[in-house]
Structure 1
Amino acid sequence: MKILYKPIGVSTLLLLLMTFFACKKSYLDVIPDNVATIDHAFANRVEAEKFLFTCYGYLPQEGNPDMNPGFNAGDEFWTYWPMTLDYFSLDSYEIARGLQNKVNAKMNYWDGYDGRSMWQGIRNCNIFLENIDKAIDLEPYVKERWIAEVKFLKAYFHWYLFRMYGPIPVIDKNLPITASPEELKVSRQPADSVVNYIAGLIDEATAGEANVGLPNKIDSRSTELGRITKVAALSIKARLLVTAASPLFNGNGDYGNLKNKEGKPLFNATYDPKKWTRAMEACKKAIDAASFSNVKLYQFVPAAGEVSEALKTEMNIRNAVCEKWNNELIWGYTGKNGPTYWLQLFACPQFDPNNVNRELKGKLAPTLKMAELFYTKNGVPIEEDNTWDYANRYELRTVSAAEPMMQEGYRTVGLHFNREARFYADMAFDGSKWYMQSGNYNIQSKSGEYTGKKQSRMYSVTGYFTKKLVNWNLVASTTEVNVESYPWPIMRLADLYLLYAESLNETGNSAAALPYLNEIRKRAGLNSVESSWTAFSNKPGKFTTVDGLREIIHQERGIELAFEASRFWDLRRWKTAAKKMNAPIYGWNITQETIEEYNTRVLLFSQTFSAPRDYLWPINEYNLQINPNLVQNPGW
């Protein structure tokens, strides 16, 4: 199979989309025939179901590394530049380099990106809800479920736009064909109104007892995995309300002067603590629903034979993401043609010197700041650990037998020693090991080595590789690569636990937040927050204050959800992106052959983040010209 090397033209893209919509490879890929009338589209159950899947078809490709801004538009990953091959779209990479603009906005899901306009998705959801009663052969309980699914999708498309653009128009019903030009010129609604509308739609979708409307879990796993459950819907509502309670949307004075054309303020500049209470209650309801449906933190169980505790812990971490439909997954994006196929190829290096294959790109490269984010083996930040040599972290050391996740006798920087299990599970580097189902491989990535830079592409520009996103069943030979694609985790239980812990802390229930953090840490082989900070941190009382625990929760989210497209949005909702993303991007000197020269920190890019402008997407100027009722986001 050949990799897409260059961006495709608009006409070619339209042709591909038409081909995609015509295919019937899975339920999410089925699009109705190009029929002439709405009546025909809802003539019977079969046709109505096709329209249901049309609504699902507008879900963004969350697991595609070039279609989800959380991957390459932030500061977690970096890659070589300019790129002429090995990409689908350059938009996210250009956003990361400060090239977003209002004339031709990048990753423009407002007007349509990757063939998906969220407004068109909302329009199709409205068409479905307005016409589903016409399908006379539809069982009542089936219709009830489909309506709930589409209400959720309608809410989700609004939410996706809200997270990007902030206050947006609310399109509860489609305007009739006879609507006047003035009626079509919709206005942006206040942020709180948008949040209440989305939350209300999800409430409607999740109403009723267990398995009324939305199912609590999917029973027909061969045909329905990826469809919405009550647990998934409640979890997205929790994410929505935590975002709405966060500093970007709760008492943000930076946007106090943003008003619509009627003069109505679009942001409430007054902080409201009740938003955190509402978020806390939504998180608890979602967690209770998850528990009822037997959703649990993933634990790796070897198929046969014995594995070390260190390796078992590593696979606890990796397979929580990569094992298909594991019991931690709350909602996974299934999409088309393998939802994480390209993600894995972009992340995976040439880990086997005997089976080099050009399909393995290894270009999805974690930045040095991400390597420094993970804790020490004692479960506290590297700059806080009393026993860890922070000052000499860039000095070379020799690996001993006491470091099982690295190659004994190898020399690498002190930064890589005595780190927590999630560091070794998520990242690989020169001198590390990469465990796969087919064997345990040594990573050696200095210039000219089999994992290193040998040409102008297919290498890590930072010297790090993203082990976490590669399914351990991937097998490469010199002639082919077999990728076991997994559903992209839009929401998993650890994420929900962290959202709940955050909302508990912000409502003054800090002690109640600790057990949820500790469950996640325990799975990663760490002791509790309380014992770790008390015994090893130079700030032993940090967890006892709201501000201190907030900092811990933020870092815990950054570590547990590293490389899962979460940090990009978290830094924005916390209003910390202006600090974190106005920092240089560093990596190792990967063009060098010697150990000493290779392990020299080099500046790759001086990233800038302009606040408050860059916290929200620009609306394309053309939209403002044709609809003067819209107003632009500040700074654009």
Structure 2
Amino acid sequence: MRKYKLKSLILSLAALSAGALVSCDSDLLETVPNDRLSVDVFWRTETDAKLAVNGLYTDLDSTNIVTWDALTDIAHTNQNFDVQAYIELGAYDGTSSKIYGEWKRAYRGIRATSYFLENVDKVTTTNTSLINQLKGEAKTLRAYQYIKLAGFYGDVPLVTSSITIDEGRVLKRTPVAEIWDFIDKELTEASALLPTTYPATDKGRITQGAALGLLARANLYAGRYQKAADAADKVMKLGIYGVYESYEKLFSYAAENSKEVLLDRQFIKDTYKIDIFQLLGPYSQKNSNSSYVPTKALVDTYETLDGKKITDAGSGYNPATPYANRDSRLKYSVFLEGDILPGGNVFKPQPNSGTADAIGSTYIASTTGFNIKKYILADDFANPNNSGINIILLRYAEILLTYAEAKIELGQADASVLAAINTVRNGRTDVKQPSITITSQSELREIVRRERTVELAFEGQHLFDIRRWKTAEKVIPGPVYGITYKDASGALVTVQVVAVNKVFDVNRHYLWPVPQKERDLNPSLTQNPGW
């Protein structure tokens, strides 16, 4: 039986609020609002505080992290009428609903956490450690949202209280350096308030390791490498995390709440479900949507089993059998020709295969001939829109790679750096890439960037990575390519997605525009360069 999850507590918040509202009708002239929790009936008990913080977790990201990768070189938005397909083409501005949606989602979470922090001390209790823990959770969740905002938009308004509408109309953007300062302070404070572990009934809550891990991520994004390395080192020294033994099973029900997971968005079938199978699965799997699909650029990034790039002399790479002798993370991350799908059929995406997954058979089938495999589980085939799989938002492999990258950029590539990289490369039973022994900064930089790309594919990190590496202008522009297959004459043909030419303008696309809706409401919000 699967463990009791945090989201079950979240759902009970509705029942609690309903009971509180009906219990307070003794004076009909002093009515309690029926569309929200009133401070007159809430913030009284420890249970109130717990349920309130549980509700904050609903603003964490889930399947939208995959959409970020689809705006890079490693994935593609499969349907050309999807709103974010226009972002790939460079045909967007501040009116884009995608650009506005990410801003809105983040500030919704920020407002909720700020409201919690303003009110939680109203609870009458002598259990100060519990209240401090809940504050630590809220602070971490608020910092999580600001990390995204800084990465997407640069300067953004720094809001730490539940402001009024009028106050919101005059907010100004805070310099991004100050945003990073705030995140650093917030997560440092939060980590001191949080426990390292929880009992089974509280699995899924923010831990000290999660706060420190996000601190490492934030400082890496900000280019503050010593702080990033120090925070990652603290996570490593906690001694409670490690890479899960199987990369193949890491994104399955069997690995939920494993030692590798620092932070996830938790779901449960029927009760608090997610539709990730239907969103990403191949079309033959009960008409799943293939909404975002891998590209040849990603597939070609995986090394051969002897640790060579496929373009290296002596790699043995054969375009006629492109998936043979490759880093096993490729076959665990991407559905490849010949794979057995969750429904039991064989994946045959070639245009001439005559299957439902054949390129061109329908506008929904993958246009590259690749499909994302992470989270697409046989357990969910019977009801593809009713998955209960947790979506991982931060895991230990990222911590190791953050530590390694930060130390490399500091010019401190010692044995601990090689150990961190090699744990990711061969610390699992089913991933056995050769250990790295070189110490050249430039070569290690290339290696750790490649490791982040393949290890964390479809986990929402690559867009932020290629922006901070300033490589987006090199890797994004151009056509999107897919599988290589044999046509009717036996000749090898590489698929090129029709009518797609990705665009990245170095003068504007390293930051998204501030949403026009926000600027219409608040003329004090300036716009990013080029927009």
Shorter chain as normaliser: what TM range?
A: 0.7 to 0.9
TM-score (normalised: structure 1) = 0.71
| CA gap 1:387/1:141 in 2 versus in 1, 3 angstroms | closer
Counterpart-to-counterpart distance in 2, 1:629 and 1:27: 40
Higher relative contact order (CA 8 A, sep 6+): 2
SS at match of 2:263: strand
Counterpart-to-counterpart distance in 1, 2:215 and 2:259: 20
Counterpart-to-counterpart distance in 1, 2:491 and 2:198: 53
Amino acid at match of 2:206: I
In the alignment, structure 1 residue 99 sits paired with structure 2 residue 84: no
Kindly state the Cα deviation for residue 230 of structure 1 after the two structures are TM-superposed: 0.7
Aligned match of 2:402: 499
In the alignment, structure 1 residue 42 sits paired with structure 2 residue 30: no
Is the contact made by 1:169 and 1:188 (CA closer than 8 Å) also made in structure 2? Answer: yes
Kindly state the Cα deviation for residue 551 of structure 1 after the two structures are TM-superposed: 0.8
In the alignment, structure 1 residue 108 sits paired with structure 2 residue 96: no
| CA gap 1:622/1:235 in 2 versus in 1, 3 angstroms | same
Aligned match of 1:581: 476
Aligned match of 1:244: 222
Amino acid at match of 2:307: G
Pairing 1:60-139 to 2, within 5 Å after superposition: 60=61, 62=62, 64=63, 66=64, 69-83=67-81, 90-109=82-101, 112=104, 116=105, 118-137=106-125, 139=127
Counterpart-to-counterpart distance in 2, 1:483 and 1:324: 17
Amino acid at match of 1:124: A
Aligned match of 2:23: none
Counterpart-to-counterpart distance in 2, 1:332 and 1:419: 29
**Stretch of structure 1 that moved more, 549-558 or 26-35:** 26-35
Pick from 454, 461, 466 the counterpart of residue 571 of structure 1: 466
Is the contact made by 1:28 and 1:334 (CA closer than 8 Å) also made in structure 2? Answer: no
Structure 2: where are the runs of 5+ without partners? 1-5, 19-34
Kindly state the Cα deviation for residue 575 of structure 1 after the two structures are TM-superposed: 1.1
Is the contact made by 1:475 and 1:483 (CA closer than 8 Å) also made in structure 2? Answer: no
Kindly state the Cα deviation for residue 157 of structure 1 after the two structures are TM-superposed: 2.1
**Stretch of structure 1 that moved more, 33-42 or 194-203:** 33-42
Aligned match of 1:191: 176
In the alignment, structure 1 residue 371 sits paired with structure 2 residue 356: no
Is the contact made by 1:40 and 1:47 (CA closer than 8 Å) also made in structure 2? Answer: no
**Stretch of structure 1 that moved more, 90-99 or 594-603:** 594-603
In the alignment, structure 1 residue 521 sits paired with structure 2 residue 425: yes
| CA gap 1:243/1:514 in 2 versus in 1, 3 angstroms | same
In the alignment, structure 1 residue 206 sits paired with structure 2 residue 188: no
Pairing 1:11-22 to 2, within 5 Å after superposition: none
SS at match of 1:584: strand
Kindly state the Cα deviation for residue 496 of structure 1 after the two structures are TM-superposed: 0.8
| CA gap 1:483/1:374 in 2 versus in 1, 3 angstroms | farther
In the alignment, structure 1 residue 602 sits paired with structure 2 residue 488: no
Amino acid at match of 1:607: K
Is the contact made by 2:400 and 2:421 (CA closer than 8 Å) also made in structure 1? Answer: yes
Counterpart-to-counterpart distance in 2, 1:632 and 1:424: 43
Is the contact made by 1:55 and 1:124 (CA closer than 8 Å) also made in structure 2? Answer: yes
In the alignment, structure 1 residue 328 sits paired with structure 2 residue 260: yes
- Identity over aligned residues, as a percent? 25
Question: What per-residue deviation string (whole Å, max 9, x for no partner) do you get for residues 447-470 of structure 1?
Answer: 312542574244221111222332
Aligned match of 2:208: 230
Aligned match of 1:535: none
Structure 1: where are the runs of 5+ without partners? 1-23, 84-89, 208-212, 246-274, 300-315, 351-355, 395-412, 531-542
Counterpart-to-counterpart distance in 2, 1:357 and 1:138: 54
Aligned match of 1:486: 389
Kindly state the Cα deviation for residue 167 of structure 1 after the two structures are TM-superposed: 1.8
Aligned match of 1:342: 275
In the alignment, structure 1 residue 26 sits paired with structure 2 residue 8: yes
Kindly state the Cα deviation for residue 109 of structure 1 after the two structures are TM-superposed: 4.1
Counterpart-to-counterpart distance in 2, 1:621 and 1:600: 40
Kindly state the Cα deviation for residue 360 of structure 1 after the two structures are TM-superposed: 3.4
| CA gap 1:472/1:631 in 2 versus in 1, 3 angstroms | same
Counterpart-to-counterpart distance in 1, 2:477 and 2:501: 8
Is the contact made by 1:329 and 1:491 (CA closer than 8 Å) also made in structure 2? Answer: yes
In the alignment, structure 1 residue 465 sits paired with structure 2 residue 371: yes
Counterpart-to-counterpart distance in 2, 1:575 and 1:452: 36
Counterpart-to-counterpart distance in 1, 2:285 and 2:309: 37
Counterpart-to-counterpart distance in 2, 1:239 and 1:544: 23
| Two-structure CA RMSD over aligned residues (Å) | 3.0
Kindly state the Cα deviation for residue 599 of structure 1 after the two structures are TM-superposed: 3.8
Counterpart-to-counterpart distance in 2, 1:186 and 1:196: 19
| CA gap 1:490/1:580 in 2 versus in 1, 3 angstroms | same
Question: What per-residue deviation string (whole Å, max 9, x for no partner) do you get for residues 557-590 of structure 1?
Answer: 1111122222122111211111110132112488
Aligned match of 2:347: 443
Question: What per-residue deviation string (whole Å, max 9, x for no partner) do you get for residues 277-319 of structure 1?
Answer: 1221111112222x2xx221111xxxxxxxxxxxxxxxx2221
Counterpart-to-counterpart distance in 2, 1:52 and 1:570: 31
Is the contact made by 2:301 and 2:309 (CA closer than 8 Å) also made in structure 1? Answer: yes
Question: What per-residue deviation string (whole Å, max 9, x for no partner) do you get for residues 109-134 of structure 1?
Answer: 4652xxx3x22322232222222122
TM-score (normalised: structure 2) = 0.85
Aligned match of 2:57: 56
Aligned match of 1:421: 328
Question: What per-residue deviation string (whole Å, max 9, x for no partner) do you get for residues 56-89 of structure 1?
Answer: 22223x2x2x565324333322254345xxxxxx
Amino acid at match of 2:336: F
SS at match of 2:100: coil
Question: What per-residue deviation string (whole Å, max 9, x for no partner) do you get for residues 168-189 of structure 1?
Answer: 22223344x5x9x578512222
Is the contact made by 2:220 and 2:402 (CA closer than 8 Å) also made in structure 1? Answer: yes
Question: What per-residue deviation string (whole Å, max 9, x for no partner) do you get for residues 355-408 of structure 1?
Answer: x6524344542111111111011112111242425xxx44xxxxxxxxxxxxxx
Amino acid at match of 1:297: V
Aligned match of 2:25: none
Is the contact made by 2:65 and 2:458 (CA closer than 8 Å) also made in structure 1? Answer: no
Amino acid at match of 2:371: F
Counterpart-to-counterpart distance in 1, 2:460 and 2:490: 33
Kindly state the Cα deviation for residue 205 of structure 1 after the two structures are TM-superposed: 1.0
